[in-house]
Amino acid sequence: MSNSFKSARPDPLLRIDAVYKSYAKGAPVLRGIDLEMAAGERVVVIGPSGGGKSTLLRVVMGLEQIDDGAITFAGASYVTVTGRRTRIDARVRRSIGMVFQNYTLFLHLNVVGNLILAPCKVNGESRKTATARALTLLDRFGLAEKADAYPSQLSGGQKQRVAIVRALMLDPALMLFDEVTSALDPELVAEVEQVILQLAGQNLPMIIVTHDMWFARRIASRVLFCAEGRIIEDGPPEQVLGSPRTERARDFVHRVFHIGG
Amino acid sequence: MDFNFGLIWKFAVPLAQGLGTSILLSLICMALGSLLGLALALARSSPSRLLRLPAVAFVELFRGTPVLIQLFWVFFCLPLVLGFEPASFTSGVVALSLFTGAVTSETFRAALRSIGSEQRDASVALGLSRWTRMRYVILPQMALRATPVLLSNSITLFKETALVAAVGISDLMSVGENISNSIGRPVEILTTVAVVYFVIAFPFTRIVTLLEKRLLRKLAL
Amino acid sequence: MNYVYDFASVFRNADTLIDGLSLSLEIAAAANLIAVFGGFVIALLLLSPSRLIRLPATLFVEFFRCTPFLVQIFWFFYCVPMLLDVYLSSRALGILALSLILSTFNAEAFRGAVQAVPRDQIDAGIALGLSPFQRVAHIIFPTALRLVIPVLLTNGILAFQTSSLLSLVAVEELMFSGKMLSAKIYRPIETFTVVALIYLVVSLPVSQWVGWLERRRVRAER
């Protein structure tokens, strides 16, 4: 095995090539991101606020326009830039699921309604089979009795668990978690992290942005340290979280473990 | 000075007919006006300037001028546009529907804006097409949020229909004014008219408040 | 459509409209001045801890909010002189009627604003040892006023537009002048278009200002 992390991976699941992104006002948020991720990996992205972590996930999900670069999923290029326009292939994007920091359940639909909307409307699945699948999944994650509840009747932790199940309904080949526990009360964090660990146990590839270093250490197979729109460190969790090579990362990890721990 | 409120019973029938006209006018204009308002709100949130600017101009015009003058204006302009003289009720319907369109477009627009961008993000992440997102995520939530305000708007409209008395439509106000003038009993008649308007509008405002509370709970805002 | 527009004859009689406009502005300005004060006083009554004060005040406000302006104005012009046996000029009656209408609207705005003053602001005032009156004067009132100014301005425009109803009880304001002029020159469309534009030109800057104030507040709260 070569000592370069990249070439150790055959056949990338996700490949990000030189992605640049800036918002209309202000400094660029992504300044040349390159990343290859293999099918078995669970990548945790850490770093200071405003360093581009969330934007990176949103770009992978195809929620944002980018200035330059390309993203390929399982060999199919789905985020490309021609001229000034970002083109996104919605078919490829369907293989990716995402859960957000804010509660994003559809407030006018109950839990089952939230779960079956996309399967019925996007994949043309029948209401009956989608509902049956929804109930099975809810049961597996201990949410069976909440099937008819509306989002306003759920706790924050339950909302996020339902949001995860909603994404799973579409059988994603890659899951993105964008600070999914940041808005939660501390006592509700564990139940959500438990669900993500459960998915990790099934070898579902995922990219996780989190501020919870203990969770990061537990779940990651690989850790990226992101700051100022660049990936500054990239390696196994023991290394990036334990003995970072750069001053920036060392400083950050030290401070977070001290304050957060 | 003596007042005789008993005499209003003699005029119960014409007053009731007037009230019927006021309510009918409100219902028709609310229906037409809301459709117009929805269209205007969507046009105003469109990325195309060609749709946005005329919609903005329309709303500013109808919100920046008194309803009375809108009534007069439609009254004199409509025959020119149509080429024949329509019934005054028709002119009243057109004018108040245009006004209601401007008012409800603000309601729909506010409802649309109150839907957070995270709902759009979630829809995109779930692979919903633009149309599915509009039809199954955005519009239902907009309708929910707009409903109490639309009901308030309809109270406003019900009150504004009193202005059609000025262009000769026999609504509650106009009937009351005529009776009051002909028998010289403004205190009895006008007070009765005011009470009738109140008795209809006030319970409606309570319903709106209740509905708003329930809705806020449901949407957990 | 072979109608030939003739705006020139309207502009030839512009002085009639200008007279009307100045009376409209005068009435609206006076009503606004009275109603800022009146609205605040009624709001205090609405927020009174005593039922005996709160209920009549609420009924009063609700009655105004749930009946048409036109009915209120007619009632005021025909019934008030009869009931109170006082005979005021139509201008004074117009100002009074409009002030009352506007006061009830401003009262609702003030009430909402006073309730919207964050509890911790008041707590901070208590913690700093301010007396109840000082808390009202230095914390509640300024905070509420800042919240309420856009609504007061919006209500002010509404009052200006509502003043057009006074034309129906023969107050010679802008709308009345417009009706007179259109009857005189037989040009209703042109006259009413010009009158509508005058209302718009007065209202629009204020509503734009309100929009600006609100956008600024939203930005500041972020």
- CATH number at C183 reads 1.10.3720.10
Tell me the per-residue pLDDT of A110-129, one tens digit each, with 9 for 90 and over.
Answer: 999 999 999 998 889 999 99
Chains touching B (3+ CB pairs < 8 Å): A, C
C-beta separation of A225 from A47 below 8 A: yes
Which residue's entry shows tokens 């039922």? C51
Q: How far is residue C134's CA from residue C151's CA, in Å, rounded to a whole number? A: 25
pLDDT at A23: 83
| pLDDT above 80 for A260 | no
Interface check B69 vs C, CB under 8 A: yes
Q: What is the pLDDT of residues C183-197, one digit of tens each?
A: 898 888 899 999 999
Indicate the residue type of B89.
F
Residue C184, SS3 per DSSP: helix
The DSSP 8-state label assigned to residue A153 in this structure reads G
Q: How confident is the model at residue C33 (pLDDT cuts 50, 70, 90)?
A: very high
Is A108 in contact with B140 (Cβ distance < 8 A)?
A: yes
What is the pLDDT at residue A11?
A: 63
Does A261 have pLDDT greater than 90?
no
Between B155 and C9, name the one with better pLDDT: B155
Q: Is residue C69 one of the residues assigned to a domain?
A: yes
How far apart, in whole angstroms, are the C-alpha atoms of residue A53 and residue A71?
16
Q: Domain of residue C192: give its range.
A: 8-221
- Quick check: is C191 in a domain? yes
Q: Which comes out higher in pLDDT, residue C133 or C33? A: C33
- Give the tens place of pLDDT for each residue, C82-106: 888 888 888 999 999 999 999 999 9
C155 domain residue, yes or no: yes
User: Is residue A6 scored above 60 in pLDDT?
Assistant: no
> Which residues in A146-159 are b (16+ Cβ under 10 Å) and which e?
bbeebbeebebbbb
pLDDT tens digits, one per residue of C67-87? 999 999 999 999 888 888 888
Task: Examine residue C94 and state whether it is found in any structural domain, yes or no.
Answer: yes
- Stretch A132-143: mean pLDDT, rounded? 95
Q: Residue range C52-73: average pLDDT?
A: 94
Which residues in chain C have their CB less than 8 angstroms from residue B91's CB?
none
pLDDT, tens digit (0-9, with 9 covering 90-100), for A83-108: 889 999 988 999 999 999 988 899 88
Q: Is residue C39 part of a domain?
A: yes
Q: Evaluate whether residue C1 is within a structural domain.
A: no
Q: How many independent structural domains does chain C possess?
A: 1
Q: pLDDT confidence of A73, banded at 50, 70, 90?
A: very high
The answer to whether B86 contacts chain C (CB < 8 Å) is no
* Percent with pLDDT over 90 in chain A: 74
Per the model's pLDDT, the better-predicted residue between B5 and A61 turns out to be A61
Q: Is C162 within a domain?
A: yes
Residue of chain A nearest B140, judged by CA positions: A108
Contact B187 C79 (CB under 8 A): yes
Q: Which residue has the higher pLDDT, A149 or C141?
A: A149
> Do chains C and B meet with 3 or more Cβ pairs nearer than 8 Å?
yes
| pLDDT tens by residue, B123-134 | 999 999 989 999
Question: Looking at the complex, does the CB of residue C1 fall below 8 Å from at least one CB of chain B?
Answer: yes
Q: Which residues of B touch A105 (CB under 8 A)?
A: 122
Check residue A2 and give its pLDDT: 42
Letter string b/e over residues A161-171, b meaning 16 or more CB atoms within 10 A of that residue's CB? bbbbbbbbbbe
Res C222: pLDDT: 60
Q: Which of A186, A172, A210 has its CA nearest to residue A73?
A: A172
Residue A202 has pLDDT above 80, yes or no: yes
For residue A223, count other CB atoms closer than 10 A to its CB.
Answer: 27
Tell me the pLDDT band of B201, cut-offs 50, 70 and 90: very high
Confidence of residue A4 (pLDDT cuts 50, 70, 90): very low
Distance CA B94, CA B47 (A): 29
Q: Which domain holds residue B105?
A: 5-220
Task: Find the mean pLDDT for residues B190-194.
Answer: 94
Give residues 152 to 191 of B whose Cβ lies within 8 Å of C.
155, 159-163, 165-166, 173, 176-177, 180, 186-187, 190-191
pLDDT at C139: 81
Helix (H, G, I), strand (E, B) or coil at A10: coil
More confident residue, A60 or A24: A60
Q: Please check the confidence at residue A3 and state whether its pLDDT lies above 50.
A: no
Q: What CATH number does residue B210 fall under?
A: 1.10.3720.10
Closest CA to C62 of B156, B205, B150, B26: B205
Mean pLDDT along residues A211-236: 93
pLDDT band at B169 (very low <50, low <70, confident <90, very high): very high
B157-175: average pLDDT? 94
Q: At residue B10, does pLDDT exceed 90?
A: no
Residues contacting residue B4 through CB under 8 Å, at least 6 positions apart = B185, B188
Mean of all residue pLDDT scores within chain C: 89
User: Is some CB atom of chain A closer than 8 A to the CB atom of B114?
Assistant: no
What gap in Å lies between CA B162 and CA A241, rounded to an integer? 73
Q: Enter the ipTM.
A: 0.89
Residues 6+ apart with CB under 8 A from C51: none
SS (H, E, C) chain B: CCCCHHHHHHHHHHHHHHHHHHHHHHHHHHHHHHHHHHHHHHHHCCCCHHHHHHHHHHHHHHHCCCHHHHHHHHHHHHHHHHCCCCCHHHHHHHHHHHHHHHHHHHHHHHHHHCCCHHHHHHHHHCCCCHHHHHHHHHHHHHHHHHHHHHHHHHHHHHHHHHHHHHHCCCCHHHHHHHHHHHHCCHHHHHHHHHHHHHHHHHHHHHHHHHHHHHHHHHHCC
Query: Total structural domains in chain B?
Result: 1
pLDDT digits (tens, 9 = 90+) for B46-82: 889 999 999 999 999 999 999 999 999 999 888 888 8
What pLDDT sits at residue C1? 54
- Would you call B128 and A118 a contact, using CB atoms and an 8 Å cutoff? yes
- The amino acid present at A161, given as its one-letter code, is R
What percent of chain C is modeled with pLDDT above 70? 98
Q: How confident is the model at residue C221 (pLDDT cuts 50, 70, 90)?
A: low
Alpha-helical (H) ranges within A104-225 are: 111-122, 127-140, 156-168, 186-201, 213-219
Cβ–Cβ gap B124/A94 under 8 Å: no
The answer to the question of residue C142 being in a domain is yes
- Of residues C143 and A175, the one with the higher pLDDT is A175
Counting residues of chain A whose pLDDT is more than 70, the rounded percentage is: 94
